[in-house]
């Protein structure tokens, strides 16, 4: 399970250190693509395959925009010897990544955020919102 929050500085080439604890669970190669809330998402290959199979099992007409959104920007990445992954310009632009980056664990996947955007997102989530969402899920 991917949990925790890690802060890094991305270099000018778009290389980002990916948390060692996450690398163990993500495997040698994983998929990074754009995600909701102007962040990126990193899926282990097994989770990416599950998502792909789910989308492919549904009506192409109904899922085409989701497929376009996820697949067109997806990149397979492999951490280098220093544990860094290279994020392409389109992915960096989507998440407005420039220097300070936060990687968070979200159970079966990780999200990659601009640190200021992540801070703002956390501040925007009030306890009443979380409580309502938990109640709706019978948590």
Per-residue pLDDT reduced to its tens digit, 23-81: 999 999 999 999 999 999 999 999 999 999 999 999 999 999 999 999 999 999 999 99
pLDDT at 129 over 90: no
pLDDT at 96 over 90: yes
pLDDT at res. 125: 85
What is the rounded distance in angstroms from the CA atom of residue 19 to the CA atom of residue 3?
11
What is the rounded distance in angstroms from the CA atom of residue 84 to the CA atom of residue 67?
27
pLDDT at res. 93: 97
Nearest Cα residue to 109 out of 51, 57, 28: 51
């Amino acid at each position: 399970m991917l949990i925790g929050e890690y802060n890094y500085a991305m270099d000018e080439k778009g290389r980002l250190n990916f948390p060692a604890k996450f690398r163990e669970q993500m495997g040698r190669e994983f998929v990074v693509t754009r995600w909701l809330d102007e962040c990126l998402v990193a899926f282990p290959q097994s989770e990416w395959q599950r998502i792909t199979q789910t989308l492919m099992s549904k009506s192409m007409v109904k899922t085409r925009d989701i497929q376009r959104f996820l697949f067109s920007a997806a990149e397979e990445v492999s951490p280098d010897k220093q544990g860094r992954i290279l994020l392409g310009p389109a992915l960096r632009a989507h998440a407005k990544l420039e220097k300070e980056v936060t990687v968070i664990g979200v159970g079966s996947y990780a999200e990659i955020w601009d640190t200021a955007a992540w801070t703002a997102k956390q501040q925007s989530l009030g306890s009443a919102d979380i409580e309502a969402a938990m109640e709706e899920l019978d948590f």
